[in-house]
Amino acid sequence: MEGLFGKLKKLDAYPKINEDFYSRTLSGGVITIVSSIVMFLLFISELRLYLHPVTETKLLVDTSRGERLRINFDITFPALPCSIVSLDAMDISGEEHLDVKHDIIKRRIDAHGTVIEVRQDGIGAPKQIEKPLQRHGGRLEHNETYCGSCYGAEASDDDCCNSCEEVREAYRKKGWGMSNPDLIDQCKREGFLQRIKDEDGEGCNIYGFLDVNRVAGNFHFAPGKSFQQSNVHVHDLQAFQKDSFNVSHKINKIAFGDFFPGVVNPLDGVQWIQEAPYGMYQYFIKVVPSVYNDINGQKIQSNQFSVTEHFRADEVGRVQALPGVFFFYDLSPIKVIFTEGHVPFLHFLTNVCAIVGGIFTVSGIVDAFVYHSQKAIKKKMEIGKFS
């Protein structure tokens, strides 16, 4: 047994020196304190990295199909009344959402940005038509409900238009524009033009979300009700009897999907002031599908995007551009996956050992250099060779 212990002693890589042979110096004490402080700070930094999750990024080809895309928005038009602005959305699959009103809230604001009224309907709730004179196509009979005329836009004889909005909708389906609302009995009774004049000088804050197909498309905010005419998307601007429309705007928020940590939406807070009387402001957006897996295993399906801006002004000899703010979006075939995770404990332990051993070694080299330098200088001073 004693022979075994003796062999183990010969394997000792750390031979001990008698304390009587130790020489402690002031410089060694200072170096020890400094190296201990540095070692402690680096250990705390490494511990924080270990306790906080880190995010790994991976790129994959997006093979998902049949999903929907939610577009959240909050946009303020300081010079475009709520009675005028409308929202349309369409995509390359042929799906169209014209004059969107569901899941959309409009807030009338004055010139100072103060909210005047909040409403969901685009043109405001129509006034009730009291004491209608007659049913279109004949006189109103006893106990017969009122059925207003659509002024030639009826799809069948049983169609009724009891409000100005219903007449405008019937015109839109026919692909007609309304030149003078005062010639429409329902619009005249509801004071359509007067309501627009009352809101002159006001602005509109419109916010909500769109649920669209996950394919390339566009959505836009523009004055007037849209309709198809000779397979061309146009807006009825004659009904408002205005020479120009100021589509200056501020984008408070635009997001394609839910928020996740680290996401940056480049259009948030963007503001643009229109100087030309007419023009179309366009945003070309590239949407990148993104998946965020947090440390608890929860998955967030969302998107990031990049954007390019362009203003299309009117030029002599060219067809007048539709005034409005257009967002054209396309989807990237690449998906980004973010995954949260902790640093492995063995990795943390390795880094701690590297910190302790590295600082201990470097401080030993510095201490030896200082000690031998001091010793050499002292020896030269003793023999009078140090000047």
Q: Where are the domains of the chain?
A: 14-53+343-383, 60-340
Do 285 and 305 meet the contact criterion of CB atoms below 8 Å apart?
A: yes
Percent with pLDDT over 90 in the chain: 30
**Helix/strand/coil for 355:** helix
Token pair 């250099």 in the structure block, residue: 369
Q: Please report where in the chains the tokens 């551009």 appear, as a residue.
A: 321
Tokens of 326: 């257009």
Cross-strand pairs, 335: 60
pLDDT digits (tens, 9 = 90+) for 283-334: 999 999 999 998 888 899 999 999 999 888 765 444 466 788 999 999 999 9
pLDDT of residue 10 exceeding 70, the answer is yes
Distance separating alpha carbons of residues 77 and 228, to the nearest angstrom: 25
Cβ burial of 135 (10 Å; 0-12, 13-18, 19+) is middle
Residue 70 has pLDDT above 90, yes or no: yes
pLDDT digits (tens, 9 = 90+) for 195-206: 777 777 888 999
CB-CB contact of 82 with 198 (8 Å):
no
Buried b / exposed e across 333-344, counting CB within 10 Å, b at 16+? Answer: eebbebbbeeee
> What predicted TM-score, i.e. pTM, was given to this entire model?
0.70
pLDDT at 336 over 90: yes
- Is 354 in a helix, a strand, or coil? helix
CA distance 212 to 329: 12
CA distance 22 to 361: 18
Segment 118-153, tens digit of pLDDT: 876 544 344 444 444 444 444 444 445 678 888 878
The residue-averaged pLDDT of 21-39 equals 84
* Number of helices and strands in the chain (H, E): 6, 18
Least confident stretch, 69-78, 100-109, 286-295, 372-381? 372-381
**pLDDT over 50 at 181, yes or no:** yes
Cα gap 304→379, rounded to integer Å: 70
**277-292 pLDDT per residue, tens:** 777 899 999 999 999 9
Q: Can you name the residues that pair with 119 across neighbouring β-strands?
A: 106
Handedness of CA 8, 11, 14, 16 (dihedral sign): positive
